[in-house]
Each structure stands twice: as C-alpha cells, then as structure tokens.
Structure 1
C-alpha cells in the first residue's frame, strides 16, 4: 500500500489529533511541514484550493478534513478502532461537537492577549497581524467569543468531560476512541501552546490526568519528507480505483460535472474539479495540476457545500 503523507505544521491542533491517531494505530507516516498561513502554493498544487491543516496524501489521492482522514486511517488499520461497535454513533457525534463547539471555545480562550503572545514568542507585530488577518479571511460563519464568555463556556465543558471520566479512563470507556482524540487537541493547544491560559484546566484534575494518558500515546514512526517530494510522488502515481459505492444525488448534479466544493463554516477557499463520486459520506473530485498531475481530492459530505462550477 502507498505511504501515508501528512501535510501539517507542529502547532496545528487538528494536526495533533491526526498525529496521535497515527501513533495509536502504530502507522508509519511521512511528515511534510506546510506554512501556517497563505500563500501555500505547494498545498494548492495538491488540493486545488483547500488550505486547511492538515490534509493526508496517499500517492495521488488527497484527503481533506480530519473527519475523513480518521475514516481513511481506520480503513487502513482497523485495530485499535476509533469507532467502538457498541457506541460508534455517540462517538462520532461527540467528536463533531469537540471539533466545532469545544474547539472554537478553547481557541477563543487561548487567543486571549496573554495566550496569543505565546503562540509566536518573540515574533514581531507584523507576524501576529498577518496570522490574525489570515484567520479572519478563513472565518465564514464562526462567531468569535469574547474571552470572558469563552472562559465560562470552557469551564462548563471541562466539567462535563470530567463527569465522563469519573469511572473510566477515557471518555466512552476503557480505551480511547474518536471522541477522545477530537476533544484532546484543542485542550492540547491551550496546555502546550498557550501555557499562560492553561490554568483553566487545573479545576478539573481528572481531565488533566486523561490528557496525560492521551499524550503518552505518542506519534509513532514519523519520517521527514519535503513538499517537492510529495508533489513529485503525486505526479508519478495513479489515483486508487474508486470503491463501488452507490451514487447518492442530493443536488441534481450528474457525475462528470464540473463542481466546486467549499467548507460551510471555516476555510472558504473553493476546490474545483470533475465530480466522479458522491457516496453516502464522501465526495471525490478529479482534477489536474501542472506540477502534481491528475489527482483525486476527497471531502466528507458533512461540513462541505457542493455546487456546480460557475462555468458549468
């Protein structure tokens, strides 16, 4: 099977989610470090426009959004599972809450002035300004909580997580599942990237102990890889054959149409290509790039909007 290539950067919380899952499943992976803000020409060569972090590359197949990446890793290595059979629906719903509500609340708290200064220690003001402007452009429908309101919400959410950990080691049982990895990464950012704001975690010792257990999983077998090598690999690879899954048409857009896919809430940059699959859970676009060649770019349905391309 083709190697797993994660395009990420060290301080990205969603990347930490995937790095830990790779460690949990003991999967070897190659690490391509990408810029935290635009421009990202090497990213766009592979994705066609999508620029959120991280994304996963397997040869000439590009997987966008960590929800989809988790499914791909589960298929690659089913054990230990991210989706326990007895409560996989609950695990997915809890993970979706953690990746959205908990994440944005934790970010609003972490990027209070004292925390923001620690994200880029020693950086000149123009660096902070560029990061803030970049993220403002990516915010489509995500309200920004003032720090006092974020603090109140964070404390409530932490107490709820602590309640789940009263009689078990992880959120839904004796082993971590997708909900644990999703809830961990925004709190990891607060604890490790903005320690000035991490005192909020001290009110819930059981959450801190759970975080220690999650951190102990590690990232496993990471190997450095360059963006140029990743693009060259895509160019010399052929996308994997699509699974024989039924076409699920919700839009009246036929396979073979030129379409555009965008995020519904964060990261409005569009990816355009030929719609070659629309299954129960995923979309796949075929597109060509002068550097990366023909690639298949995959998106989850949830969280993304599909439309006909303007010229179609």
Structure 2
C-alpha cells in the first residue's frame, strides 16, 4: 500500500477527527499543511475544485469528506473497529448528526467575536477578518441561526450527550469508542480551543471527562511532507484498480460518462470527471490536472450530489 498523505491544517476540527482516528488505529501518515482559506492551488489540483478540509491522498487516489476517509481507514486497518457490529447503524447515524447539526450549532456559538479571537488567537486581526469572509462565502446560502438560538441548542445537545454517559460507560455507545465518538469529539475539541466561549461545556462534566479519554488516543506517528512532494507522488502513481466494484445506478448515468460531483449543503464546488465508481456508499471520478496528473477523486454518496456535466 502507498503511504497515507493527509492534507490539513492544525486548527481544523474535521482534521482533528481524522488525526485522532490515526491515533486510535495506530496508522502512520504523512502530514501536508495546507492554507486555512482560499486560494488553495495545490489542494484544488488534486481534488478538481473541492475545497473542504481535510483531504486524504493514497498515491493517485484522493479521498474527500471525513465520512469516506473513516471508511477507507477502516478497510486499511480493520482493528480496532470504528463500527462495532452491535451499534454500527446507530454509530453512523449519530456521527452524521454530529458532523452536521452539532458542528454548525457549535460553530455559530463559537464564532461570536470573543470566540473567534480566542480560537484564532495566532492570527492577526486582518487574518481573522479574511478567515471570516472566506467562511461566509464558503457557507453560501446555508440557513443561519442567531447566536442565542445556537447557544441554547448547543447547551441542550451537550446535556443529551451527557445523558448518554450517565450510566458510567466510557464512550457514547458502549465500552469501546466508535465513529460517533470521533465525530462528536471534534466539535468539543474546537470548543475547548476557545476558552472565552467554552463555559457552555460546564453543563456536561462527564462529557468533559470523555473528551480527555478521546484526546489520549493522540495522532500516532507522522512525518512532514510538502505539497510539491505530494503532487509528485500523485503524478507518478496509478489509481487503485476498482473494476471489480459493483456499479449501482440511481441517476441513469453510465460508467465513463462525464459528470460533476459536489456537496449538497455548503462548499458547493463541482468536481468534473469521468464516472468510475458508483457503489452503495461511494462515488468517484477520474480527472487529469497539469500539476497532479491523472487522479481519481472519491466522495461518499451520502451528502453529495451527482449530475451529468
């Protein structure tokens, strides 16, 4: 197997979700630090336009969205599992809620002026302003909550998560951590990075203890790599053979047709290419870029839309 290359930046919540999965599974990885805001020319060369963070690269295969990245890591390192048999469906459903509803509620609470200054304290005022403008464009026409609504909802969500730990179990769904724990954790982690607004966590003392257990997994072993090295690896690699995968068609689109794939909620930047994978839970296109060469860009089916280009 080619080495795992992870494109991320330090204070990205979704990146922390995957970094902790590396630690949980004890998977070694290469770290490529990318810009927190646009432009991201080297990332876009790999993805074809997708700009969310993080992105995982294995040779010429580019994996987008942490839900799919977690599935790929599960295939590569099955034990310990992110999806225990007894709660796999519930774990995935709770993770999807945490990655969407919980995350955006937390972001609205945190990105009040005191919270932004606290979480992004290493940035200058001009950089913080640019970050805010970038994220506003990124969210596009997504519905927005007011700060009181977000704080009130977040407080209730934290109480519900606290209740899940009330019987003394160490993790949200049992004795072992699962994908739901990692998805909830990255929002709690980001809140803890902003002490000015993190007092909302005081309603959930058991959840704070749980967060300490999650943090202890760490990030395992990684080495630094620069973006040019990652692009060179993509150019000199061939994507994995996926011809054995069943083709599942919900759109009336055949393998090899030119399509566009994009998120269905925010950061709606279409990635165009030749459709090469359409399974129950994964979509992928083959595309060519002057910097990255021929790559295959993978997406989860849930949360993304597929259209003829």
Task: Please classify the TM superposition score into its range, dividing by the shorter chain length.
Answer: over 0.9
Q: Could you list the runs of 5+ residues in structure 1 that have no partner in the other structure?
A: none
Distance 1:60 1:97 in 2: 31
Residue matched to 1:187: 188
Distance 2:226 2:88 in 1: 36
Distance 1:126 1:144 in 2: 24
Task: Give CA-to-partner distance per residue, 1:15-46, whole Å, 9 cap, x none.
Answer: 00000000000000000000011000000110
Distance 1:170 1:236 in 2: 42
1:141, CA displacement in angstroms?
5.0
Task: Give CA-to-partner distance per residue, 1:203-240, whole Å, 9 cap, x none.
Answer: 21101000000001100101111100000000001111
* Runs of 4+ with deviation above 4 angstroms: none
1:124, CA displacement in angstroms?
3.8
Residue matched to 2:97: 97
Moved more, 204-213 or 136-145: 136-145
Give the SS at the match of 1:296.
strand
1:122, CA displacement in angstroms?
6.0
Give the SS at the match of 1:87.
helix
Give the SS at the match of 1:88.
helix
Give the SS at the match of 1:129.
helix
Q: How does 1:190-201 map to 2 (within 5 A)?
A: 190-192=191-193, 194-201=194-201
Q: How does 1:262-273 map to 2 (within 5 A)?
A: 262-273=262-273
Q: How does 1:90-239 map to 2 (within 5 A)?
A: 90-121=90-121, 123-167=123-167, 168-192=169-193, 194-239=194-239
Task: Give CA-to-partner distance per residue, 1:51-93, whole Å, 9 cap, x none.
Answer: 1000100000000000000000000000000001011000000
1:243, CA displacement in angstroms?
5.3
Distance 2:31 2:123 in 1: 25
RMSD between aligned residues? 1.1
State the TM-score, normalized to the length of structure 1: 0.96
Change beyond 3 A, Cα 1:243–1:96: farther
Distance 1:97 1:123 in 2: 30
Residue matched to 1:25: 25
Task: Give CA-to-partner distance per residue, 1:242-299, whole Å, 9 cap, x none.
Answer: 1522211111111111111111011111111111111111111000111111101000
Distance 2:266 2:37 in 1: 14
Distance 1:243 1:112 in 2: 49
State the TM-score, normalized to the length of structure 2: 0.97
1:195, CA displacement in angstroms?
1.1
Give the SS at the match of 2:85.
coil
